[in-house]
Amino acid sequence: MKIAIAAEGKQLSGHFGHCSMFHIYEIANKKASFIESITPPPHEPGLIPQWLSGYKVDTVLTGGMGRKAKEIFAEKNIKVIDGLEIDDIKKIADDFAIGKMKKGNSTCDH
């Protein structure tokens, strides 16, 4: 399984559409292995879900994401987990791998 974590540097981004990068991890045997950091294209509705699908991502993790983006990800069969607490990216990846996500409220309401 491959995950993409919306980030601002080494911290989770509070808003998916405005993140400066995505950190890609492979999840296997309850371990998260870093693959790469990628810079997203300019924010346009629907572009980033299409772009991430090209990286064969199964799940996107973020602090917040709008309804329309979630719908587009669902069309691409990519799961979205939002409402995550802002924390260190590596810790979030490791927590995801062992099934211990810290969920709060989504930071996005559109």
Along the chain (110 residues), what's the average pLDDT of each consecutive run of 10 residues?
A: 96 89 97 97 85 95 90 94 93 96 62
- Write the DSSP symbol of residue 17: G
pLDDT value at position 33?
98
Instruction: Specify the CATH number for the domain of residue 21.
Output: 3.30.420.130
Count of domains for the chain: 1
Q: Where are the beta strands (DSSP E) in 1-110?
A: 2-8, 11-12, 21-28, 31-38, 59-61, 79-81
Count of other CB atoms within 10 angstroms of residue 11 = 15
Instruction: Domain of residue 83: give its range.
Output: 2-98
Residue at 79 is within a domain: yes
What global pTM score does this model have? Answer: 0.92
Residue 105, in any domain of the structure: no
Q: Say if 107 falls within a structural domain.
A: no
pLDDT at 62: 94
